[in-house]
Chain A
Amino acid sequence: DGGITQSPKYLFRKEGQNVTLSCEQNLNHDAMYWYRQDPGQGLRLIYYSQIVNDFQKGDIAEGYSVSREKKESFPLTVTSAQKNPTAFYLCASSPGGANTEAFFGQGTRLTVV
């Protein structure tokens, strides 16, 4: 089945450790996005990529890094520099262009202890 997959669903890490969240899509979409969501809040854009080997910072990129080496994959690394990493992380993809819908993964809930 076509879709966008995030793994794992739940992730626990110790403070000070980097952690990488996976996002894979088999929809042949050019654009991919990472969002952070805190309890009771809306989605905030971390990074987005329009095409392979290119990505741009969103509103809250500090403490995060991404790569886009393959069209299907857009992993997000939460570094130790991110002061409040515990959150719900959502990945999305779209064909690109304004007249196309985005598809979201089911999210990864990261807890840093």
Chain B
Amino acid sequence: DAKTTQPTSMDCAEGRAANLPCNHSTISGNEYVYWYRQIHSQGPQYIIHGLKNNETNEMASLIITEDRKSSTLILPHATLRDTAVYYCIVIHNNAGNMLTFGGGTRLMVKP
């Protein structure tokens, strides 16, 4: 599976959009981009995923560049409860994939 690179930490003001970048320059055509988040001392929570097209759900939007080498997770109106570690991972399109997590980005939403 392709490796990902994320900033170690980011701050965001409450109510503003949080834009979390992820670099996956070695991604292959069959690999999906997934985002999870982990609030302190809890299990990670799925946010969103995509292959080529941009995706949006009730939690966030995922913007994938045309060359698929990077993506951005957007939380449109960050709240204090969005403070968490956000993980970007890529998963190959075959059954029983290993889910391999990197260090993630620690997002701090401030009042």
Residue positions of A touching B, CB distance < 8 A: 30-31, 33, 35, 41-45, 48, 50-51, 56, 58-59, 88, 90, 92, 94, 96-99, 101-107, 109
Contacts and interface: CB of A to CB of B under 8 A. Distances in A.
Nearest to B49: A101
Contacts of A103: 46
Interface of B: 30-32, 34, 36, 41-46, 49, 51, 85, 87, 91-104
The 5 lowest CB-CB distance pairs between A and B, nearest first, are A50-B96, A104-B43, A101-B46, A43-B101, A98-B93
Contacts of A97: 93-95, 97
* Chain A interface, >50% SS class: strand
Which of B30, B34, B44, B45 has the most chain A CB atoms closer than 10 A to its own CB?
A: B44
Given A45-B100, A94-B99, 16 more contacts: A33-B98, A42-B102, A42-B103, A42-B104, A48-B99, A56-B98, A59-B100, A96-B95, A98-B91, A99-B51, A99-B93, A101-B34, A104-B44, A105-B43, A107-B41, A107-B43
B43 A42 contact: no
A10 to B, nearest CB: 11
